[in-house]
Structure 1
Amino acid sequence: MSANKVKKLLVIGGRPTINWYNLFKNTSIGSYTIEVEFTMWDEMVLTSYSDSGCIISIMPSKYAIPDTPMNTRRTFQPDFLLIRGACQGVYGQDWRNELLGLMYCGIPSINSLESLYMCLEKPVIYSKLLQIHKQYKEKFPLIPQTYYPSWSSMSFNTGFPLVAKVGTVHAGFGKMKLENQEDFDDLVSLIALQNKYVTTEPYIKWDYDFRIQKIGDHYRAFQRVSSCWKGKGMNQTDNDVPVTDEYKRYIDLASKALGMDICALDGIHDPITNKNYIIELNDSAIGLVQRHVEEDLNYIKELVLSRMKQVYKL
């Protein structure tokens, strides 16, 4: 009797709240059964060989979901990747070497490993969005930005207030609002002690921010109102809104330029000029809105199976 034909799907995520084993239970593509393994970046050890591929060892997880293999050590070669955990953390965590190991062997992935590598540095993503803006002008309204490679290039500035972002920021971390030149000079004195680049952009007192989410061919749009200028805080509400032609154009242009199957585009709305400003593009590690989690996970599942069929011509 021949052995069962299996394709190994490795999901790399954050602290597990989703049972990926259940989501992909009893699924197959062609004559291959899909077997799932889940790990966090810091519970995975990998070695990549030019002649025999990538070998993954997953340590027993301290966050193991009951009735899954997560409390055991597993070693295998993945056939496909779903990346749902950020490759960098706000407290200095950085798993780019592991990402390079996956890229080394060319393992097919959602999102593409090349796009995930670009997302390690926000200025790289901004440069791609800027190319779109230069071509489409106001049809892709990207917020203006200035890049400083180090503190020594941060001279006198005008046009306050500004938002300064130190390095590759995440959520509300690494961002400051600068009201005047004195604030700017204070920031320069801090950056002088750090090996960090800085970007600045005009501060716009927005009435709502928006997020456009894309999972394969499925779209969602949200608008959020908050008492905090960063869009974070206790006093915030978010609502589903229609995916307008404008919103769809924004996310389609961005996702195509970066080669992303799962992404979210964030922006703000200026109530004075009635203009939108695109702020940033986020990769496949995006959080899902709780009220849509079950449906969106099924969209992710369908997308993964579809891509695996394409890759393996099944």
Structure 2
Amino acid sequence: MLRSLFSGQAAPLNAAAPKKPATLLVLQGDAYDWVSLLRGATLRDGRPVRVVQTGWEDVDVHADTYSCTGSVQVQVEVYRFAKTASPPEGFGLEASGRTRVTLQPDFVLVRNEVATPAFDGRSRLNGLLFADLPAVNSLQSILLSCERPAVQGQLLKLQRQLGAEVFPVVPQHFCSSSRSLMYGYTFPAVVKIGSAHAGAGKMKITDHHQMSDFRSVLQMMPDEHCLVEPFIESQADLRIQKIGSNYRAFRRVSLSGDWKTNTGTSIMDEIECSQRWKTWADAASEMFGGLDILTVDAIVEEGSGKEFILEVNGTSYSK
């Protein structure tokens, strides 16, 4: 994926002096070995690329502008490397790869979500933003993508521009707290607390009595917002992936009967990406100033076959 940024060729043997490596910080603690995937890669100017792979919870960031030039000096402390990754080269590490290192990244690739139910890494992300580091996707878009209402607002903007027939976003109701949860639309409905994802923080509500009970639960979380949308009986889920100018489409069908098809047993097949779905991905790629990597998630309604766009995910979810 990042090979387009590199020449893929080693520096010429007759080079006058070895060039300082460019450091790529990959924030992905749960899969892949980016150190091996990009071993031997160089930038177009011949600089070798040194890859360090870790997770959000295993880093700290500090930066300052006290240099005489006023430029930002950033330091990233890495306490542990990703379990799936090879130890980074050029640090003199032992084979275990468990030694703490300090680095100054030149570029960042984010492949894990910043905020999860178990950990919130936005303080680390804000440090990288303070240092104005280049990244895929941009750090600004990653910060905005942490907030589901910001993403949905962009989707609704695209729906107004393109029309609901071309860009069909699922209807939603936003409330900033339990006090503003005055939902009187169709049931069953699905409530999503905060920036819920991957099945967490979501609940199916069958009627207004259950909604009243849920409202009392939301009252215990005064700092959380909530989104409510109609429950759509699913025939299948769709995931449209766009990386640069490349597209892929996947169809997922639940086998367990769980309404959350991303948490129960399911089967996923890669299918041909239609022009309609490419239009969705192209439109979504303009969000937040531009997304180089994204997925559009949609649901196909049982019976009618209608498709509804549920959300767009950036680089950290587009696996």
Quickly name the TM-score band, shorter chain normalised. Answer: 0.7 to 0.9
Aligned to 1:147: 174
3-state SS in 2 of match to 1:38? strand
Paired letter, 2:111: R
Q: C-alpha displacement at 1:235, in angstroms?
A: 3.4
Q: C-alpha displacement at 1:63, in angstroms?
A: 3.3
3-state SS in 2 of match to 1:243? coil
Matched, 1:215 2:243: yes
Query: 46, 57, 61: which is aligned to 2:61?
Result: 46
Paired letter, 2:26: V
Q: Deviations over 1:81-119 (max 9, x none)?
A: 10011101122x111111111011111000100110001
3-state SS in 2 of match to 1:189? helix
Q: C-alpha displacement at 1:228, in angstroms?
A: 1.7
Q: 1-side partners of 2:24 and 2:87: how far apart?
A: 18
Higher strand share: 1
Q: Are 1:64 and 1:71, in contact at CA under 8 Å, matched by a contact in 2?
A: no
Q: C-alpha displacement at 1:60, in angstroms?
A: 3.5
Matched, 1:103 2:129: yes
User: Which structure 1 residue ranges, 4+ long, deviate > 4 Å from structure 2?
Assistant: 64-69
Return closer, same or farther for 1:286/1:155 CA change in 2, 3 Å cut-off: closer
Q: C-alpha displacement at 1:40, in angstroms?
A: 1.0
Task: Pick 1 or 2: higher relative contact order, CA cutoff 8 A, min separation 6.
Answer: 1
Aligned to 2:218: 191
Aligned to 2:48: 33
Q: 2-side partners of 1:155 and 1:66: how far apart?
A: 52
Aligned to 1:284: 315
Q: 1-side partners of 2:183 and 2:100: how far apart?
A: 56
Query: 80, 85, 106: which is aligned to 2:107?
Result: 80
3-state SS in 2 of match to 1:207? strand
Paired letter, 1:128: Q
Matched, 1:245 2:265: no
Paired letter, 2:34: W
Q: 2-side partners of 1:247 and 1:81: how far apart?
A: 29
Q: 2-side partners of 1:186 and 1:63: how far apart?
A: 42
Higher helix share: 1
- TM-score using structure 1 length: 0.86
Gaps of 5+ in 1: 289-314
**Aligned 1:118-133 pairs, distance under 5 A:** 118-133=144-159
Query: 291, 294, 305: which is aligned to 1:263?
Result: 294
**What is the identity percentage for the equivalent residue pairs of Structure 1 and Structure 2?**
30
3-state SS in 1 of match to 2:201? strand
Aligned to 2:83: 63
Count of residues in correspondence between the two structures: 286
Q: 2-side partners of 1:201 and 1:177: how far apart?
A: 10
Q: 2-side partners of 1:67 and 1:8: how far apart?
A: 14
Q: Are 2:235 and 2:300, in contact at CA under 8 Å, matched by a contact in 1?
A: yes
Q: Are 2:53 and 2:81, in contact at CA under 8 Å, matched by a contact in 1?
A: no
RMSD of aligned alpha carbons? 1.7
Gaps of 5+ in 2: 1-15, 66-70
Paired letter, 1:174: G
3-state SS in 2 of match to 1:114? helix
Q: Are 1:5 and 1:31, in contact at CA under 8 Å, matched by a contact in 2?
A: no
Q: Are 1:62 and 1:71, in contact at CA under 8 Å, matched by a contact in 2?
A: no
3-state SS in 2 of match to 1:98? helix
